[in-house]
């Protein structure tokens, strides 16, 4: 999927079709939407993380290269004996707040429960099949950047389940928009994770 195909109204229609909220009540009423593409190989920044909002009553959509699933290292060396955490698609109200990733730098940190799959087969493919164990709770599924300077081409150890933006400049812009939104709407942010199939199903 090419990020250039995405439009504000396409995200809105996809959310509405699934019964998920889409925030559109004024400037910087922020929608944070992850798109998990059909390319389910681990280790690549092959997904998209989007910000949809209004600015001076004009629709704005920012699309960043990222990952919504963990890298190969953590697939093969899970932190949890139950398996590596892979965030399940869905809408998560007030999932994030402004904070610091691992106490080191500003990011969005998990502030309410989410649902994850526990992928325990130690391979490099995303597993979300029926029957795969699921768990709901607080797992430190933050939204943060990869390297502090420049663009990362491989996920490596950057994600053990977190949502990660590949380019540091993109992430800085992402955080600036979040800070502006927080001034008006508060520092809690909902998050919606869609599959590529869900995105285009009703288009």
Least confident of 31-35, 156-160, 164-168: 156-160
Neighbours of 79 (CB within 10 A): 14
How far apart are alpha carbons 151 and 153 in whole angstroms? 7
| Confidence band, pLDDT 50/70/90 cuts, at residue 1 | very low
* Domain encompassing residue 136: 3-201
Q: What is the CA radius of gyration of the chain?
A: 16
**Mean pLDDT, range 98-112, rounded to an integer:** 97
**Spatial strand order in the sheet of 84-87:** 84-87, 114-119, 134-137
Number of domains within the chain: 1
174-186 b/e (C-beta count within 10 Å ≥ 16 → b): bbebbeebbeebe
Q: Report residue 9: phi and psi, to 5°.
A: -65, -30
- Give residue-wise pLDDT tens across range 26-83: 999 999 999 999 877 778 899 999 999 999 999 999 999 999 998 877 777 777 777 7
């Amino acid at each position: 999927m090419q990020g250039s195909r995405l439009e504000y109204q396409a995200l809105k229609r996809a959310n509405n079709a699934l019964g998920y909220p889409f925030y559109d009540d004024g400037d910087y009423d922020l929608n944070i939407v992850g798109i998990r593409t059909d390319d389910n190989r681990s280790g690549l920044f092959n997904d998209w993380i989007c910000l949809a909002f209004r600015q001076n009553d004009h629709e704005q959509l920012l699309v960043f290269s990222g990952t919504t699933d963990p890298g190969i290292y953590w697939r093969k060396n899970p932190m949890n004996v139950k398996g590596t955490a892979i965030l399940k698609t869905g809408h998560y109200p007030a999932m994030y707040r402004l904070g610091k990733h691992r106490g080191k730098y500003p990011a969005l940190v998990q502030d309410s429960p989410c649902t994850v799959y526990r992928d325990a087969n130690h391979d490099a493919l995303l597993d979300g099949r029926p029957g795969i164990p699921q768990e709901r709770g607080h797992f430190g599924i933050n939204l943060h950047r990869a390297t502090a300077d420049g663009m990362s081409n491989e996920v490596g150890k950057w994600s053990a389940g977190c949502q990660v933006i590949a380019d540091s400049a993109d992430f800085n812009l992402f955080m600036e928009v979040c800070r502006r939104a927080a001034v008006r709407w508060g520092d809690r942010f909902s998050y919606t994770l869609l599959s590529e199939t869900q995105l285009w199903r009703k288009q």
